[in-house]
Amino acid sequence: MCYKIEAQKKLEVKLNEKLQDVPNIIKDFLITFKSSRTKNVNWSCIKDMFEFFLKNDIIQKDSVSNIDVDDLKKILPIDIIKYLNGLTYTHKMSSIRTQKAIISSFWTYLEASGICENNIVYKIPKKLYRVEKSNVDTNVKIPTQEELIAFEKNVKDIPNEFTEFRNLTIIKLFCGSGIRSEELIGLDMKDVFLQEESPYIMVWGKGNKEVQDRVPLSYEATDYLTEYFEYRKLFIEEKKEQNKSIDETPVFISNKGERISKGAIDDFFKRYSNDMITPHMLRHWCGSHLYEDTKNIKLVQRVLRHKNIAVTAENYVHVSDDEVDSAVKMLRTDRQNVGQSNQLNLEDKILTIFRAKIMPNLLSMLINSEECSEENFDDKIMNVIQQQFTGLM
C-alpha cells in the first residue's frame, strides 16, 4: 500500500476518535471534505473558535460537545470578529485569513443546510480584524550556518554507524531538495533516480494528489543518498542474517527495520540540534538560499511546489537588515549614480557567464593545444572567446 494512503487512513482513524463526542452538525460539515488532513485542519479551527465562545460566555455551555443548532443561530458577526482579533497576537495575517476562510466555509454549509439564514462571515469588514502591526515575527526561521554545522557534528557522534549516516542523509536531503517531512517519510526506493543526468526523486506532494511530483536533487544530497544506500544494503543483510523482519520498500528505515516515523525524525532533530532546528526549517533554508543565490522567485516556487507564488514570496524570500540598510544608504535625490550601479550589475552578469561558459573551454584549449606559442597566444585566446560568445548568441 502507498505510504500516503496508509497515512491518510491512520489520520482518519485518529480523527474519528476525536470526533466521537462532537455535535453531528460539525461532523456532517467535515464529511464534505475528501482529505483527512483537510478535515483535521478544519476541525482544529472550528474547535478553537467554539472554545473561545465558551470561555467568553458567548455560548453558555459546558463543552463543545454540548453545542446545538440553537447556539449556532445566536452567533453574531461581532463574536467572530472578537475571535479573529484575539488571533492577531499569536498568528500571522495569512493564518488569520485561512481561519476566516474555514469559518466562512462552515457558515456557508449551515446556510445551505437551512440551519442559518445567511453567512454572517460575509458581514465582517476586513479592517475590523486587521492590525497595523502584529506582535508576531513574520520572518520564517532558518538555521544559521553555525547551527547547521553544530547539528551535523552532534549527529556524527552517534555510535551506531548506520543511524549516524542515515540521519546525516536525511539532513542533506531536506536541504538539497526542500521536501517536507511527510514526503521524505513516504519516499520509496522506486521513487529515487540517481543515475539520471539530473538526479531527482518522485514524491507524493501536499494535498490529495493522484500524480507524484518530480523534485530535483543537489549534488550533495545525491552523493549522500548514494553512499547511504550502501549502508542500507549492509543493514538489510545483517537483519536477514538475524532472521529479523525488515521492510525493504522505504528509502529510510528505522533501527527496527520499519519505515522511519515522523516522531523519530522530530526526536533526532530536537535532540542533536539542541532543540534549535526542525525539519521544516530546512525546507525554509532551501527556499531562502535558492532565492539568495538566484534572485528568481519563480524558480523557488517551482522547487518548493507552491500553487500560489505569494506563499513563496511571503515565507521563503528573506531580506536581511544589512541588505535593507545598504539599499537605503544608496538613495540620493540627484540619481546620478544609479546608472553606474546598474552598469556594475551588468558587469557582474557578464563575468558570471564568462566564468561558467567560456573559462572552462579556454583553459582546456590552453592545456591541450601544442600550437599555443608566445607569438599567437593572444590571437588564440581571442579566437576561443569569439567562438564561445557566438555560440551563446
> Could you read off the pLDDT of 40-85 as tens digits, one per residue?
889 999 999 999 999 999 999 888 888 998 999 999 999 999 999 8
Q: Tell me, what's the pLDDT at 117?
A: 83
Q: Tell me, what's the pLDDT at 211?
A: 84
Rounded mean pLDDT of 331-335? 69
* CATH architecture observed for domain 145-316: Orthogonal Bundle (1.10)
Residue 268 one-letter amino acid: F
Higher pLDDT, 181 or 17: 181
Least confident of 245-254, 286-295, 301-310, 334-343: 334-343
Helices (H), 63-144: 69-73, 77-87, 93-112
- Dihedral of CA 50/53/56/59: which sign? negative
Q: Tell me, what's the pLDDT at 88?
A: 80
- Other CB atoms within 10 Å distance of the CB of residue 178: 25
Q: Which residues pair with 324 in a beta bridge?
A: none
Residue 147 exposed, middle or buried by CB count within 10 Å (0-12, 13-18, 19+): middle
Which helix or strand (DSSP H or E) is residue 349 part of?
Answer: helix 338-353
Least confident of 10-19, 121-130, 170-179, 303-312: 121-130
Q: Tell me, what's the pLDDT at 352?
A: 63
What gap in Å lies between CA 322 and CA 294, rounded to an integer? Answer: 18
Q: What is the mean pLDDT of the chain?
A: 83
Grid cell, residue 286, equals 532551501
pLDDT of residue 328 exceeding 90, the answer is: no
What gap in Å lies between CA 10 and CA 86, rounded to an integer? Answer: 33
204-239 burial, b at 16+ Cβ within 10 Å, e below that, comes to bbeeeeeebeebbbbeebbbbbeebeebbeebeeeb
- pTM (two decimals): 0.62
- Other CB atoms within 10 Å distance of the CB of residue 294: 12
Q: Where in the chain is the domain with CATH 1.10.443.10?
A: 145-316
Q: Are 103 and 49 in contact (CB under 8 A)?
A: yes
Q: Tell me, what's the pLDDT at 337?
A: 56
Grid cell, residue 239, equals 537483519
> Could you read off the pLDDT of 253-270 as tens digits, one per residue?
999 999 999 999 999 999
Task: Give the max Cα distance, the chain.
Answer: 97
> Could you read off the pLDDT of 284-293 as tens digits, one per residue?
999 999 988 8
What gap in Å lies between CA 314 and CA 311, rounded to an integer? Answer: 5
- Other CB atoms within 10 Å distance of the CB of residue 140: 18
> Could you read off the pLDDT of 195-214 as tens digits, one per residue?
999 999 999 887 656 789 99
Q: Tell me, what's the pLDDT at 385?
A: 66
Least confident of 52-56, 166-170, 227-231: 52-56
Rounded mean pLDDT of 119-143? 67
Rounded mean pLDDT of 106-132? 80
Put the strands of the sheet holding 213-216 in their side by side order. Answer: 192-193, 200-203, 213-216
What's the chain's length in residues? 393
Residue 326 exposed, middle or buried by CB count within 10 Å (0-12, 13-18, 19+): exposed
Closest by CA to 87, choosing from 77, 102, 74, 100, is 100
Q: Are 194 and 210 in contact (CB under 8 A)?
A: no
Grid cell, residue 237, equals 543483510
Q: Tell me, what's the pLDDT at 132?
A: 47
Q: Tell me, what's the pLDDT at 311?
A: 80
> Could you read off the pLDDT of 350-368 as tens digits, one per residue?
666 666 656 666 656 555 5
Residues of the chain above pLDDT 70, percent: 77
Q: Tell me, what's the pLDDT at 233?
A: 96
Q: Which residues pair with 259 in a beta bridge?
A: 253
Q: Which residues pair with 203 in a beta bridge?
A: 213
Beta-strand (E) ranges in the chain? 192-193, 200-203, 213-216
Grid cell, residue 351, equals 563575468
Q: Tell me, what's the pLDDT at 208?
A: 57
Q: Tell me, what's the pLDDT at 361?
A: 63
What gap in Å lies between CA 120 and CA 132, rounded to an integer? Answer: 25
